[in-house]
Structure 1
Amino acid sequence: MNKNDAYLWLKNIGGISTKTIEKIEDEIENIEELMYLSDKEIYNLKNINLNIKENIVKYKSHSYLDSIKEKLYKKSIKYICINDNEYPNNLKEIYNAPKLLYYKGDISILKDTLNIAIVGSRKCSTYGKNCTKILSSELSTNGINIISGLAIGVDSYSHIGCMEGRAKTIGILGSSVDNPLPKQNISLSEKILENGGLLISEYNVNSSVIPSNFCNRNRIISGISDGVVVVEAAVKSGALITVEFALDQGKNVFAVPGNITSQMSKGCHKIIKEGAKLIESIEDILIEYNINSINNDKIGKNYDNISLSAESIVIMDAIKTEGSLHIDGICDYTGIEIKKVNSILSNLELNDLVVEMNNKVYSLNV
């Protein structure tokens, strides 16, 4: 048995966490020898829960290890250990780094590439959706991998936006890689793999999915990344938990500002006040890593190819001048009656030229 086998074996025994393995390693110089210890020697291990010792004794066999490997093989799941060269270098440096990761896809895409995490609300607004897709797509076009948690909302649009560019996207799961959650994102997980991306989890097949998995998952999202971008987040949210991990790990933290009346902006504004870098475009991110942006003639709509009425242009100019405007402000600014403004804004939204941020406040989708 080698060290990788020992980690795989132990991680599949009930109650054994990364910290438990570290406690065992504090007592046994070579953890790969654990399986060959007598039952008495195992029960004499210090600082280990009795139930865990009983489970180690119960599953102390090569046949059990072989059955684990067989399950992984049948499901086309690979695994990597912290002592392997392919293990992400950034992740090795964090506190409580996973001893073992299960994955599907190409693990090599994490090497020698800048990896940026994008996280945010599951209940993101249209503004949050568009900001996420634009940032993710443009970062990907500049060869930067995008990492997120495959949740609905900002996570999903992070992965989708990345696949519009040339880089790869990595989904970090709080469930096993053969059981991506939520279920509505199973097709997205398949597209990630089809596009040469990667799915990663520290949980093996048939593992129970409990709420703490997703908090633990967040340390891996920030750990693998070189920086974390937050797009829309409440003050109490999983996204801000990821930020806490990122700060502890010494990573750059970026935040997209939002509507001051939206609860989904409160978290972003909080961390901006606390020192996160406010970003308005990918250049605000790239400058931190001394990267020059690729001139790609503006990802998004080519406005020259869209036929607009004179009143539509007046309304767009008003929004551009003010940054964002409530519909009443648009009427006051342009002198156009509200019924007409409503109709024009609906048409502009259909063409992805403007987005409603919140409560009839509109901003340009640029």
Structure 2
Amino acid sequence: MDALTATLSLLRLEGIGPGLYWQLVERFGSAAAVLQQSPQNLTRKLPERARAQLLEFQRRELDSELGKWALAERERCAEHCVYLLHRDDDNYPKLLKEIHRPPPLLYVSGNPHTLSLPQVAVVGARRATRAGLDNARDFSADLASAGFAITSGLALGVDAAAHSGALKGGGKTIAVLGTGVDRVYPVRNAVLTEQILAADGAIVSEMPLGTAPEAANFPRRNRVISGLSLGTLLVEAAVRSGSLITARLTLEQNREVFAIPGSIHNPMARGCHHMIKHGAHLVETSADIVEQLGGLLSGMASQPGLFEETVSEAPDLSADQRQLVQALGGDLRSIEQLARDTGAEAGDLMASLLQLELEGLVEQLPGGYQLSGRGARLFSKLSALAG
């Protein structure tokens, strides 16, 4: 029996998760060797059904329940054009191999060679602000156009924006799922999934085909996202969030964490500020990330990219609208504050804010207005000219 079939069979044994799988393999040498052990030699924690499964496998091997499931899973993968990468497979991503007890198997839809590209994980809030979505999209586009694959979790919000940005930058992107690769979750991102595959990217999971989106699967997914990547960029996140778990896992795996700072009044910026306090690199442009990661794509730092937008490329704004952009600055501002800072009448102020919102430069949040990512870049340019 080959290593792939043995691994599938062992992982199908009731009560066996990745942690116990590696304990047994490290003790007995291989999945095939574990399957030949007496149940008493393995662990007292094995449920009764698992003991019965193991004894049947030893009698009937591929005609057993475990053996038949393993062969059927391989056949299902072939029918769905899904690659199965065993931990010892040459195509198994080298960076992922380096983490403690990596996934024994990866299911890959799309191009498995994409997993060996230098990757940056981009993660953040599902309910991100418009500025957060802009940043996720633009950072990802810039990094992808320079040669990094962008890795994320296909969730709504920052994840989806990161995948879309990578495609916009003409690069490749990898979506790591907490479901089977044949069950896109959330369903709203089904079209995005097809775009990822069409652009020679990959959809990845360590879960068997047909696995439903259960809460316990997503921390495992986050560990794979960080494990595949040279570093993780945190765009927006609450202090208690899955994105922050991914960032912490990145540090545990001795990889780099990058975080985009935000307004002290934005609860979605607090996770980024927390990670900056605990060792993450504060970044303002994608070039900051390249400089920190070093060598491979360092030429990007001196090349103009999406973050080098010129004022002439900005919308044709009136003097009052430009004044309003500068009054908004880098923080959340209420109508009252903006009226005081600009001297504008309430009606004129609301009209200007609406126009800026339609231009994609401003967004409304509870408590006031703030610049979008595009608006913030325009503010930086206007401030530089004024200085």
Distance 1:357 1:292 in 2: 38
Distance 1:349 1:13 in 2: 55
Q: Give the aligned partner of residue 9 of structure 2.
A: 9
Distance 1:175 1:297 in 2: 33
Could you tell me which of 325, 330, 347 is aligned with 1:323? 330
SS of the aligned residue for 1:14 comes to coil
Could you tell me which of 338, 361, 366 is aligned with 1:353? 361
Q: Does the C-alpha gap of structure 1 residues 302 and 7 become closer, same or farther in structure 2, counting only changes over 3 Å?
A: farther
Q: 8-17 or 227-236, which moves further after superposition? A: 8-17
Could you tell me which of 94, 115, 127 is aligned with 1:123? 127
Q: Give the aligned partner of residue 275 of structure 1.
A: 279
SS of the aligned residue for 2:290 comes to helix
Deviation for aligned residue 1:224: 0.5
Q: Is the 8 A contact 1:233 1:267 kept in 2?
A: yes
Could you tell me which of 303, 309, 321 is aligned with 2:318? 309
Q: Structure 1, residues 222-260: CA drift from partner, whole Å, max 9, x if none?
A: 000110111111111101111121111011111111221
Map 1:1-366; keep pairs closer than 5 Å. Answer: 1-33=1-33, 37=36, 41-47=37-43, 49-51=46-48, 52-59=50-57, 61-63=61-63, 64=68, 65-111=70-116, 113-290=117-294, 291-293=298-300, 294-296=303-305, 298=307, 303-304=312-313, 306-319=315-328, 322-324=329-331, 326=333, 327-356=335-364, 359-363=367-371, 364-366=375-377
Deviation for aligned residue 1:187: 2.0
SS of the aligned residue for 2:120 comes to strand
Q: Is the 8 A contact 2:149 2:174 kept in 1?
A: yes
Q: TM-score, normalised by structure 1?
A: 0.90
SS of the aligned residue for 1:121 comes to coil
Distance 1:4 1:167 in 2: 31
Q: Is the 8 A contact 2:235 2:259 kept in 1?
A: yes
SS of the aligned residue for 1:189 comes to helix
Structure 2: 5+ residue stretches without partners: 378-387
Deviation for aligned residue 1:197: 0.9
Q: Structure 1, residues 15-69: CA drift from partner, whole Å, max 9, x if none?
A: 322222223324433433555x3xxx43232325143232233455325132221
Distance 1:210 1:283 in 2: 37
Structure 1: 5+ residue stretches without partners: none
Q: Structure 1, residues 271-310: CA drift from partner, whole Å, max 9, x if none?
A: 1112211111112211102323232365779754633223
Q: Does the C-alpha gap of structure 1 residues 160 and 285 become closer, same or farther in structure 2, counting only changes over 3 Å?
A: same
Q: Is the 8 A contact 2:180 2:208 kept in 1?
A: yes
Q: Does the C-alpha gap of structure 1 residues 132 and 150 become closer, same or farther in structure 2, counting only changes over 3 Å?
A: same
Q: Is the 8 A contact 1:119 1:231 kept in 2?
A: yes
Distance 1:10 1:149 in 2: 27
Query: RMSD in angstroms over aligned alpha carbons?
Result: 2.2
Q: Which has the higher helix share?
A: 2
Distance 1:276 1:16 in 2: 35
Q: TM-score, normalised by structure 2?
A: 0.86
Deviation for aligned residue 1:345: 1.6
Distance 2:131 2:108 in 1: 33
Distance 2:309 2:369 in 1: 21
SS of the aligned residue for 1:44 comes to helix
Percent sequence identity over matched residues? 31
Distance 2:310 2:157 in 1: 22
Q: 64-73 or 22-31, which moves further after superposition? A: 22-31
* Alignment-mate amino acid for residue 24 of structure 1: L
Distance 2:95 2:364 in 1: 38
* Alignment-mate amino acid for residue 83 of structure 1: D
Q: 298-307 or 348-357, which moves further after superposition? A: 298-307
